[in-house]
Amino acid sequence: MDWLDIKEFFKDAFKYILVIALVFLVVMYVFTLEQVVGPSMESTLKSGDVVILNKFIYGIKDVKRGEIISFNYADTKYLIKRVIGMPGENVKIENNKVIIDGKILKENYIGNIQVNNFYLSSLGYDKIPDDMYLVLGDNRSNSMDSRNPKVGLVKKEDIIGRVKLRIWPIKSIKIVGWGGIMAYMKFKELTKYFDFGTEVHPDNLPEYAKEYLTDVETIVMAYKNSKDYAVFTNKKLILFDRDPLAVYYKKIHIIPYKSISTSAINFKQGKVELLLSLDSGYQMHINFVSMNHNKKENLKIVYKAMMNVKL
């Protein structure tokens, strides 16, 4: 091996070493994988799910209510829970409702569960101290979280990172974390357009479309087109905006009826237009085509149910 060969060898080796070093830095300081263990975050996350953890985010942003975090517990273990109580707040649970500073927290990511009352004073605090957070599992009846003195309030310095994306199982890839704290996603588009042409029986919906229902929800009506689904429940509208170029990627628009500020429905020849303005200022324009008289009457019933919930 002459000098040129040795030089080329070290040149190539340096590239691989650099790549390995970059991967190591990303895993150590930016992103890493964690597996969900146990049922405490069901139905948002299930035992065995693999999630991507953003370890860098809280170095540049504040922790927010509703975010799902991983934090150190008992030295070598970690727990995954949802942030509920923020610094300076008083949190209690009465009659199965989370109450923060006297106001009931609206949560549509938990089912109809029965849990014991909880008071922050049981942990020795009147208010949550600075840089500490109260966390709960979504499966409140089977979760070891801040209600347990062994866990207690979580210090900011013990937070490993924020859970934002579930990547396994493949069929269940989705962004997680906003649950019902955010009433809907804030999209870049000022107005989002959808067109639907076929009614779908609830039993024929894909499994991923059913994952966003709580135990107290029922499907009133569902529609589809070549790539999207619209599911009207007795509580909210769920729009699945599938990217036709990607098998698993989709945007999920979750719109509780109470988050609709104004609405209108227009019946035209062979179609119906549903116009929704959300509290955030964003708008949804949903067209239903190939609509005969019976289908229009069904949609009218759905619309009235939406407005009754809103009121």
| Residues annotated as part of the active site | 40, 81
99 and 171 in contact (C-beta within 8 Å)? no
Q: Which residues of the chain are in CATH 2.30.29.50 domains?
A: 191-310
Phi, psi of 200, deg, nearest 5: -125, 130
Lowest mean pLDDT among 67-81, 219-233, 251-265: 251-265
pLDDT tens digits along 163-207: 988 888 877 777 776 443 333 333 334 456 788 888 888 888 888
What percent of the chain lies above the pLDDT cut of 70?
79
pLDDT tens digits along 73-118: 886 689 999 999 999 999 999 998 999 999 888 887 777 778 999 9
Residues 6+ apart with CB under 8 A from 178: 66, 185
pLDDT of residue 190: 44
93/98 Cα distance (integer angstroms): 5
3-state DSSP assignment of residue 20: helix
74/25 Cα distance (integer angstroms): 25
- Which tokens belong to 182? 């955010």
Can you tell me the mean pLDDT for 226-253?
Answer: 73
**CATH class of segment(s) 191-310:** mainly beta
- Which tokens belong to 263? 């609405």
pLDDT of residue 153: 97
Confidence band for 24, pLDDT divided at 50, 70 and 90: low
pLDDT tens digits along 190-201: 456 788 888 888
| pLDDT over threshold 80, residue 9 | no
pLDDT of residue 6: 56
CB-count exposure of residue 45 (10 Å: 0-12, 13-18, 19+): buried
Tell how far CA 183 is from the center of its chain: 10
- Supply the pTM of this predicted model: 0.53
Can you tell me the mean pLDDT for 22-45?
Answer: 75
Kindly report the CATH number that applies to the domain delimited by 31-175: 2.10.109.10
* 103-104 and 97-100 strand pairing: antiparallel
104 and 190 in contact (C-beta within 8 Å)? no
Closest CA to 230 of 242, 248, 244: 242
Counting Cα atoms < 13 Å in the Cβ hemisphere of 287 gives 11
Exposure string over 275-286, b if 16+ CB within 10 A, otherwise e: ebebeeebbbeb
Phi, psi of 225, deg, nearest 5: -130, -155
Q: Which residues of the chain are in CATH 2.10.109.10 domains?
A: 31-175
Q: How confident is the prediction for the chain on average, in pLDDT?
A: 80
What percent of the chain lies above the pLDDT cut of 90?
25
119/97 Cα distance (integer angstroms): 12
